[in-house]
Amino acid sequence: MVCRAGIPAPVPEGIVEAIRGREDAGAFVDLTRQAAFCVGDPVQIVAGPFADHVARFEGLNDEQRVVLLLDLLGRKLRVAVPAETVTACA
């Protein structure tokens, strides 16, 4: 339950549904998920709009996505992509 000053407070629409979407068969959400990479590791993006780009791993966000630092057209850009679209650089 989310409270403000001890009083139950509403949460933005979609928050509860997003959490329920991450439940396993036992209705639990795994909060111990570990990153497969260390901060600063180079990774290859293998799918999506940034496919074939190399980026630096920044971390994980709350939406089950990896946060990357991508050098695009000479500019550093922070992007969040699905974890399954990134692999370690060969």
Residue with tokens 């989310």: 2
Taking only the tens place, the pLDDT of each residue in 51-83 is 999 999 999 887 778 999 999 899 999 999 998
The model's pLDDT over 25-47, given as tens digits with 9 standing for 90+, comes to 887 766 656 667 889 999 999 99
CB 76 within 8 A of CB 70: yes
d(CA 87, CA 3): 39
In order of 6, 50, 65, 84, the CA distances from 69 in angstroms are 39, 12, 13, 17
User: pTM for this one?
Assistant: 0.61
Structure tokens at 25: 């068969």
What domains can you pick out in the chain, each with its CATH number?
Answer: 3-88 (2.30.30.30)
Q: What is the pLDDT of residue 31?
A: 63
